[in-house]
Chain A
Amino acid sequence: MNYFPDEVVEHVFDFITSHKDRNSVSLVCKSWYKIERYSRQRVFIGNCYSITPQRLIARFPGLKSLTLKGKPHFADFNLVPHDWGGFVDPWIKALAKSRIGLEELRLKRMVVSDDSLELLSKSFPNFKSLVLVSCEGFTTDGVAAIAANCRFLRELDLQENEVEDHRGHWLSCFPESCTSLVSLNFACLKGEINLASLERLVARSPNLKSLRLNRMVPLDTLQKLLMRAPQLVDLGIGSYVDDPSSEVFSKLKTVIQLCNSIRSLSGFLEVAPCCMSAIYPICENLTFLNLSYAPGLQGNDLTKLVQHCRKLQRLWILDCIGDKGLGVVASTCKELQELRVFPSDPFDAGNAAVTEEGLVLISSGCPKLNSLLYFCHQMTNAALITVAKNCTNFIRFRLCILDPVKADPVTNQPLDEGFGAIVRSNKSLKRLSLSGLLTDQVFLYIGMYAKKLEMLSIAFAGDSNKGMLYVLNGCKKLRKLEIRDCPFGDVALLEDMGKYETMRSLWMSSCEVTLGACKILAKKMPSLNLEIINESEQLEFSLDDRLLVDKMYLYRTLVGHRKDKPEYVLLL
């Protein structure tokens, strides 16, 4: 079988970088398994409870980069109680004890403590990169430890984390000898920072390519920072408020002209619209623009800005841009691949800022569109069918109609046909989120056509178990299925229990699943963990099997029940 010495095979494997491919390679034969595991440097673990750190360390002694995800996706929307789990501490402790030379740690939806961060910072001399997304449990003291102790830190990227801000001058903890920073993102921190320290840090970081500031960094500091770092590729602006006639502002205008490497722009957490004109010069080269946290910009401001961004590939924006504004995007941004439109006021339908019209305009103007997240107040089947005709490259299609069961307002029909058209024409669709009034029919279409679908999010949809069954039977590549408030019950859950071993996880909340069915499933499938999350006090598990389970989280695992579950979680 093996005509080549191991070193050659290993060298060949160096060219195989995707996790999927490396996983496949490791299954070919024992020899390849061995070669692969010793040469593997990057590991991705989509569910931190599917494996233990000890087994990870045992298998991949050459590990350098670890990505971990903790809570299920619906935790983002308050459906998972506090303290459910996803603690990174045991991982860091185990890695620290081992001889792993960890260099990069990327966490998503995990609970991180200051102690873990400190341990992390002190245990790995070559540690280079920390990326935390939607994590919680730590304060700026933990961040300070990272800054102080990681001598070769290249990347400190905090995205949308809930961080308790102690205003403890964490920025000043970067030693003067630290000159290796390439990426610094602290936009999610709410507290003040030492501006002088920030300026000095940027001044001594010649490799700095990405800098995202928080709202406490004022415009005059921004101007000084840009002077020091005209080589920036990615800029996140904190506060952008000044008088357009001020001297500082004209200095900013001048210095921005020098920053012709900027390809990605975000932030504007505080903004005075009249200052936006200074940005126009860099708009020409932008490929990513994120204004989704800038409610201070009105539709007109957004439109004016976007008109300059002809090379834009990714746009994240608030719905106050309006359908007309999206029309401007459609006619300007011909390279657009990804669009995310967020609601500026999710609980107020009065300002119905974007509707199906905006989406149709985008679909006809932007032929390269492959990823969509669209919050709107209404959608019609006709619009979706048109979008499906115009765009056949969707990989991600997430539509959120703010009223969860809203029908097509023109025909009063469910949106089955519209979504059906989308899945029929977009054969590469990997991720789909549904909303609006939907019957079992839409699931029939999904099962029939969405053959590459990996993640499906369903809410308030369907009529019967058939809906869920269509999906489970039809979507062979399904990895993550999350369902809330749908009439799917035991029959659907138990029909094909083996299916769940091919998936990462299944979430069902406020559906029709009974405790009895959960017990059956858990008993039959020891390779799955079935968690029942129950917070109400009436929970007396004296246990009538007919009781409906409110939240169920099912995931495959190699290591059985987790030891850190809170009281309100029942592991069957």
Chain B
Amino acid sequence: MSPPLLGVEEEVQSSVSSPSVECISENGMGLKERNYLGLSDCSSVDSSGVSSNLNLATELRLGLPGSQSPERETEFCLLNLGKLDEKPLFPLLPSKDGICSSSQKNVVTGNKRGFSDTMDGFSEVKGYVYTEKSWMFHEAGSDSESPQSVGHGKYPGNSGVNVILSTRSPGVQASVKQDEPANVLQEQPRATNGTSLKQTVISNNTTGAPAAKAQVVGWPPIRPFRTKTLAASSKNNDEVDGKPGPGALFVKVIMDGAPYLRKVDLRTYSTYQELSSALEKMFSCFTLGQCGSHGTAGKEILSESRLKDLLHGSEYVVTYKDKDGDWMLVGDVPWEMFIETCKRLKIMKSSNAIGLAPRAVEKSKANNKKEFGYGC
């Protein structure tokens, strides 16, 4: 299941402290949706201006519903470029093993609290919306078509709280937007404390589904039995596939320093070359400047150790964990043998690979070391 995006936020941007500043997106009203799920729309790694900023394909937005800056708009257009049937180069889906699997735990409670605080605030706000018609939706939406009725601008406080996290440098307007909305958001809960029987939305989300994802309780309307079974089935299928045999052979790929893992299906490649290209593509955002220099189509593959060479220019080596639990350098054995024994892949910094491939280490030291940044 998709992991909570606030986890990424906490990991990547310490400037965002309060969990209650979640961007609640406007829906309808001609305003663009700020959908945390929208991060997956971004196939825009190939869009030049944005790619370097969307390494994690997440964007922290702290605006109020409907509030947006022109810059956000452009960016969102870019995000929207990712049409459903295009195959993005990096389908940056928050997969089960994806974003912040490691940080999932520390996020849960904080997020819950934050979400329910905000929800409380917005639950009360709803009262304002429908009686006073003076809520921020109108003001914020001034640059779009005028709200037909309050209902259009309605944000029923319980619907999807959407968070888009950004790894953009803090200097960007995200921080400017932060202060104002944050304050407004925080005022509301305080003002309306204890005067309502309205429960916190999260109160009885007792299913296995990760509550920390800023979900609305009971939405989408699917029986917990179904979600649990599907989750268990998916897990089993992956595990089943981890053994050599028919079907896909998915193994996790870890890259040193990357905030999330990926998975590759080893059966979709037949040579180390293919695997190497795929890994490059997957992780190029973490190794800026390295793409293009490898993946040399047409060049003959001299040996299985080509992979080593290819990635060594970038200070990284690819290693794998075999059946016995040992970490080995990729490329030493024939491909067929490799996929039968490989359980996991790890892209390590050459400096950490001492002992695995001393040659590689020397080689990379000899190269100009470049700056690597992910999340700028």
Contact = CB atoms under 8 A, between A and B. Distances in A.
A346 interface: yes
B93 A407 contact: no
B27 A548 contact: no
Given A241-B240, A244-B246, A463 B40 contact: no
Interface stretch (B31-39, B171-179, B307-315, B330-338): B31-39
Contact of A485 (B33, B156, B246, B247): B156
Interface string A288-299: 000011111000
Interface string B109-145: 0000000000000010011011000000000000001
A293 B226 CA distance: 8
Nearest to B231: A295
Interface string A154-193: 0000001110000000000000000000000000101000
Contacts of B226: 160, 292-293, 342
A74 B28 contact: no
A369 interface: no
Given A77-B223, A78-B207, A295 B197 contact: no
Interface stretch (B10-18, B209-217, B356-364): B209-217
Given A348-B94, A437-B152, A512-B127, A271 B237 contact: yes
Given A272-B247, A510-B123, A400 B221 contact: yes
A349 B222 contact: no
A538 B120 CA distance: 13
A137 interface: no
A-side interface mostly:
loop
In the complex, which range does the number of interface residues on chain B fall in?
A: 35 or more
Given A273-B247, A348-B40, A539-B197, A295 B28 contact: no
Given A76-B223, A536-B203, A439 B237 contact: no
A349 B35 contact: yes
Contact of A350 (B40, B152, B247): B40
B246 A77 contact: no
Contacts of A440: 151
A436 to B, nearest CB: 9
Nearest to B39: A350
Contact of A77 (B37, B93, B218, B229): B218
A370 interface: no
Nearest to A415: B28
A84 B84 CA distance: 42
A72 to B, nearest CB: 12
Interface residues of A, number: 82
Nearest to A484: B218
A437 B28 contact: yes
B301 interface: no
Nearest to B88: A350
B70 interface: no
A460 interface: yes
Contacts of B29: 407, 412
B236 A345 contact: no
Contacts of B376: none
Contacts of A338: none
A99 B198 CA distance: 47
Interface in B143-199: 145, 148-152, 154-160, 194-199
A459 interface: yes
Contacts of A551: 199
A345 B195 CA distance: 37
A215 interface: yes
A173 B194 CA distance: 55
Nearest to B213: A347
A404 B222 contact: no
B224 to A, nearest CB: 7
B130 A487 contact: yes
**Most-contacted residue by chain B among A270, A344, A433, A549 (CB, 10 A):** A270
A42 B160 CA distance: 44
Contacts of A244: 246
Contacts of A345: 1-2
A406 B33 contact: yes
B48 interface: no
Contact of B234 (A81, A295, A412, A437): A295
A241 B243 CA distance: 12
B141 to A, nearest CB: 12
A375 interface: yes
A243 B196 CA distance: 60
A556 to B, nearest CB: 24
B158 A460 contact: yes
B209 A407 contact: no
A548 B194 CA distance: 12
A549 B197 contact: yes
Interface string A412-453: 111000000000000000000100010110000000000000
A176 to B, nearest CB: 33
A546 B97 CA distance: 47
A439 B154 CA distance: 10
Contact of B126 (A190, A343, A414, A487): A487
A464 interface: yes
B27 A405 contact: yes
A58 interface: no
Contact of A403 (B33, B195, B236, B237): B33
Contacts of A486: 156
B200 A536 contact: yes
A406 B149 contact: no
Nearest to B201: A510
Nearest to A73: B221
Given A76-B223, A134-B225, A437-B152, A407 B196 contact: no
B39 A535 contact: no
Nearest to B84: A352
Nearest to B210: A347
Nearest to A378: B84
Contact of B159 (A134, A190, A404): A404
B218 A78 contact: yes
A241 B247 CA distance: 9
B158 A74 contact: no
Contacts of A45: none
B225 A160 contact: yes
A10 interface: no
Contacts of A550: 197-199
Contacts of A462: 151
A313 interface: no
A534 B198 CA distance: 9
B47 interface: no
A407 B213 contact: no
A76 B94 contact: no
Given A77-B222, A78-B224, A463-B154, A350 B91 contact: yes
B90 to A, nearest CB: 11
Given A295-B234, A402-B220, A404-B216, A538 B194 contact: yes
A548 B206 contact: no
A464 B130 contact: yes
What are the 8 A-B residue pairs with the smallest beta carbon separation, nearest first? A350-B40, A463-B151, A349-B37, A407-B28, A77-B218, A296-B237, A350-B93, A404-B159
Given A134-B223, A269-B229, A512-B127, 15 more contacts: A74-B218, A78-B207, A79-B217, A160-B225, A241-B240, A293-B230, A323-B84, A342-B222, A348-B1, A350-B94, A407-B27, A407-B29, A440-B151, A487-B126, A487-B129
13 contacts: A78-B224, A79-B217, A269-B229, A269-B233, A270-B233, A347-B215, A403-B27, A407-B29, A412-B30, A437-B152, A487-B154, A510-B201, A550-B199
Interface of B: 1-2, 27-30, 33, 35, 37-41, 84-85, 91-94, 123, 126-127, 129-130, 145, 148-152, 154-160, 194-201, 203-207, 209-210, 213, 215-227, 229-230, 232-234, 236-237, 240, 245-247
Interface of A: 74, 76-79, 81-82, 134, 160-162, 188, 190, 215, 241-244, 269-275, 292-296, 323, 342-353, 355, 375, 400, 402-407, 412-414, 433, 437, 439-440, 457, 459-460, 462-464, 484-487, 510, 512, 515, 534-536, 538-539, 547-551
